[in-house]
């Protein structure tokens, strides 16, 4: 099982820290994650004041020059609001810089600000994604493209460069909770990255079963139907230390998001329930976090990748310490439990 981190490059809450410093600290964390043995580091894409990841491929390219082995991925690339040609060119270039370590997690994102920003209509939410994903996959699989759609000028035997180091640039489908998305990933034979940021992880098993059934019916082998899990988490030396560090920023962030979406404010009791044995949060000491990763994997029928999302107002030092614990204690423990 690959274990890593997804970050949204959160803007610093401390006003004394500049955005430039925050991004350089992020690059230091990616470099350190590579050094201590994490398998993957992903960066999201947002177009909001709270995050600095609107051009995540640029940050990943900077990280590629500083790292040696870690996979560098998007988390996610908002395909609906972008040109698939440019997406492919950006990540093919990243693949060349990193010598074959680039990946794309394609999705629609958890916010909608990209649609008005780039002139797209939310009423065409599904149609945009389906068409653009189709084109992105065709570009990935073919050097010369003849294609016609609704949302982009047609391509007539058009060559698209550069081509990546990897023969087939990995493209995962990032999904939330809609059955159609799981079925689509299966029908396309794409690896599935499931974002479970609330509720109980095992409740996603029926959706993953839909993915695997759709993939099997489409003729894909079991080993082609890969499942990854992305969840909120943080690791410290003790459970108490982890919760005390993580909860304040988590509560502030999700209370603010809740105001935008009509959800009630976060409470400590709700947080504790989410961080319980079957809840989606993985906040605790290395031993219990490793064991929970294994429990989640078994509940979902087996996962091949787990990524922590730790953006919750934590300091650079706290994040560095957590990365070290993941690399030196969580990953070895997970490997032992998998034997």
- Where in the sequence is the domain holding 277, given as residue range(s)? 2-338
Task: Give percent of the chain with pLDDT exceeding 70.
Answer: 100
**39 has a pLDDT exceeding 90:** yes
Measured between alpha carbons, how far is 161 from 113 in angstroms, rounded to an integer? 29
If one counts the domains in the chain, the total is 1
CA 335 remoteness from chain centre: 22
Give the tens place of pLDDT for each residue, 139-149: 999 999 999 99
Paired tokens of 306: 């787990």
Q: Which residue has the tokens 């489908």?
A: 173
Output the domain CATH number for residue 132: 3.20.20.30
Selection from 199, 84, 194 nearest residue 133 by Cα: 84
Measured between alpha carbons, how far is 57 from 73 in angstroms, rounded to an integer? 9
3-state secondary structure 218-265: CCCCHHHCCEEEEEEEEECCCHHHHHHHHHHHHHHHHHHHHHHHCCCC
**152 has a pLDDT exceeding 90:** yes
So what's the pLDDT on residue 312? 87
**110 has a pLDDT exceeding 80:** no
Give the tens place of pLDDT for each residue, 43-59: 999 999 999 999 999 99
CA 329 remoteness from chain centre: 22
Selection from 131, 137, 59, 130 nearest residue 98 by Cα: 59
Under the banding of pLDDT at 50, 70 and 90, the label for residue 109 is: confident
Task: Give the pTM.
Answer: 0.96
Give the tens place of pLDDT for each residue, 195-211: 999 999 999 999 999 99
């Amino acid at each position: 099982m690959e274990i890593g981190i997804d970050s949204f490059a959160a803007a610093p809450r401390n006003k004394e820290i500049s955005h430039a410093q925050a991004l350089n600290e992020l690059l230091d964390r990616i470099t350190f994650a590579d050094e201590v043995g994490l398998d993957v580091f992903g960066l999201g894409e947002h177009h909001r004041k709270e995050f600095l990841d609107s051009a995540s491929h640029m940050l990943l390219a900077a990280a590629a020059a500083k790292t040696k082995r870690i996979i560098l991925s998007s988390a996610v690339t908002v395909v609906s609001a972008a040109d698939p040609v440019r997406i492919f060119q950006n990540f093919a270039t990243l693949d060349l810089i990193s010598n074959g370590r680039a990946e794309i997690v394609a999705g629609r994102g958890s916010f909608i600000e990209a649609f008005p920003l780039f002139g797209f209509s939310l009423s065409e939410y599904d149609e945009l994604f389906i068409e653009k994903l189709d084109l992105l996959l065709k570009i990935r699989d073919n050097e010369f493209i003849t294609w016609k759609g609704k949302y982009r000028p047609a391509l007539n035997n058009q060559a698209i460069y550069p081509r990546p180091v990897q023969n087939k640039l990995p493209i995962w489908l990032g999904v939330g909770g809609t059955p159609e998305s799981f079925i689509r990933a299966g029908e396309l034979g794409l690896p599935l990255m499931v974002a479970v940021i609330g509720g109980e992880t095992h409740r996603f098993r029926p959706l993953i079963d839909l993915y695997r059934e759709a993939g099997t019916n489409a003729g894909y082998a079991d080993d082609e139907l890969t499942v990854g899990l992305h969840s909120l988490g943080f690791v410290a030396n003790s459970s108490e230390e982890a919760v005390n560090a993580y909860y304040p920023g988590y509560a502030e962030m999700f209370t603010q998001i809740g105001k935008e979406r009509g959800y009630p404010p976060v409470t400590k009791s709700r947080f504790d329930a989410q961080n319980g044995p079957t809840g989606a949060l993985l906040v605790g000491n290395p031993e219990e976090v490793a064991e929970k990763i294994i429990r989640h994997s078994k509940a979902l029928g087996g996962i091949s990748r787990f990524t922590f999302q730790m953006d919750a107002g934590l300091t650079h030092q706290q994040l560095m310490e957590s990365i070290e614990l993941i690399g030196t204690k969580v990953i070895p423990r997970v490997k032992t439990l998998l034997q």
